[in-house]
Structure 1
Amino acid sequence: MSSAIAVIDFETTGMSPAQGARATEVAIVLLEQGRVVDRFQSLMHSGAWVSPFITQLTGISNEMLRTAPPAAQVMREAARFVGQAPMVAHNASFDSKFWQAELALAGESAPQLFACTMLLSRRIYPQAPSHSLGHLARYLQLPSTGRAHRALADAEMAAALLARMQQELCTRHALPWPGHELLMQLQRRSRAAADGWLAQQAAPSLLAAR
């Protein structure tokens, strides 16, 4: 059974598909045991208008999207790329909504569960001055991946953050490599309860190693 995790980032015309916002770009980075094994990235044309503010923020213009492939086509390709892999995003409540909404418009299902690197970072690095992706990258001195607010650069950064946190869990808590299910359980714990819960997860592996 594959241990791949799909780390995703969208650029969009607004904050919520419920308010009519559409995706303009999607990128997905596949990680296995903390190592990047594949990437997917595409602009996507939905016919939605991109405001000057969004163009300034992302660098994505209406002109660029006119020649981009149709959104439904891109999302079907993205769904095939992800396959059965569980998913991760930074501020996953945002990206998961667009994943579900854009796939629904393409006539595809979106069964994947999402873990969130923002929630996880609050459990693992509570001392960080900020838990935004850019601030965490600087705090942890992660390598630069390119312009912020472009989907591939942000997906690469979130993937690097995820791999660092997985490694941190291994070294700090003597855990085997933490998979998606453990990450999902950890993000549901309060910060106060996280360390005690992690110690409980480490105990069986420590006993097995004796």
Structure 2
Amino acid sequence: MSLDFHSFPANNLIVFDFETTGLSPDMGDRAIEIGAVLIENGKITDRFQQIMNPGIRIPLFIENLTGITNAMVKSARDNASVMTEFYEFIAGHNLVAHNASFDERFLRAEFRRIKKYYSSGIACSLLAARRIFQNAPNHQLATLAQYKNLPSDGTYHRALADAEVTAHLWLSLLDELREQHELNEPTFGFMHKLTKTPKHQLRKLYTQK
């Protein structure tokens, strides 16, 4: 019997983030770092972080943006071994990422290379924030961290640091739903539906619960 991952509580999942050589795996770009945190019952209980060697050169712009250099990845494990380990880490969990369409493309592309397939759900904290924190100046991760005074050491564009801030953002979104809309235990399915719901239809969604 297959599991209904959408019925799982939204405060039990894995938040993940990639750093990459560019914007598109379809154009040959590869992941160079993966970071993730496990949330259980609203608390961060485990972490995963690895730099990986993609076998291609990292552009100077990406080196400057992330601080991940060609010298650093040269001594790292290859993508296949790291992604195999990450596949085991996320097994049985729904996922969240900020601007999830970007990270999902790389996740699925890297998994295809090792003949793995991820079947649970992936939700986007950026889309959720656009609907729940409508008064934020914008919905970039750093802006939302400041807007909601989320725990952060000020590091961005590193996978684990971004995943941790995104995890705190996700929990803040759930808190907002509880406090403002009396949604005590939002499911992952509800949150995923919320990210796809136009803003003018949110009131109806909240009343349906």
- Map of 1:138 onto structure 2: 146
SS at match of 1:41: strand
Q: Residues of 2 paired with 1:166 and 1:8: CA distance? A: 18
Shift of 1:63: 0.4
Q: Residues of 1 paired with 2:139 and 2:46: CA distance? A: 26
Whether the 8 Å CA contact 1:167–1:177 is kept in 2: the answer is no
- Map of 1:14 onto structure 2: 22
1:52 maps to a residue whose letter is L
Shift of 1:146: 4.5
Shift of 1:11: 0.1
CA RMSD of aligned residues (A): 1.3
Which moved further from structure 2: 158-167 or 3-12? 3-12
Larger relative contact order (Cα-Cα within 8 Å, sequence gap ≥ 6): 2
- Map of 1:107 onto structure 2: 115
Shift of 1:127: 1.1
- Map of 1:171 onto structure 2: 179
Q: Residues of 2 paired with 1:171 and 1:24: CA distance? A: 39
Whether the 8 Å CA contact 1:145–1:154 is kept in 2: the answer is no
Shift of 1:33: 2.6
**Residue deviations 1:40-64 (CA, integer Å, cap 9, x gap):** 0100112121011100000000000
- Normalised by the size of structure 1, how large is the TM-score? 0.92
- Map of 1:121 onto structure 2: 129
2:165 maps to a residue whose letter is M
Which moved further from structure 2: 55-64 or 191-200? 191-200
Q: Residues of 2 paired with 1:180 and 1:48: CA distance? A: 36
Q: Residues of 2 paired with 1:145 and 1:188: CA distance? A: 31
SS at match of 1:199: helix
**Residue deviations 1:33-91 (CA, integer Å, cap 9, x gap):** 32101110100112121011100000000000011111011001101001110110000
SS at match of 1:185: helix
- Establish whether residue 30 from structure 1 lines up as the match of residue 38 from structure 2: yes
Q: Residues of 2 paired with 1:95 and 1:163: CA distance? A: 20
Q: What stretches of structure 1 move > 3 A for 4+ residues in a row?
A: none
How many pairs are equivalent? 201
- Map of 1:190 onto structure 2: 198
Whether the 8 Å CA contact 1:33–1:177 is kept in 2: the answer is no
**Residue deviations 1:106-163 (CA, integer Å, cap 9, x gap):** 2211223210000000110111110011111111111214410000000001000000
Unaligned runs of 5+ in 2: none
Unaligned runs of 5+ in 1: 202-210
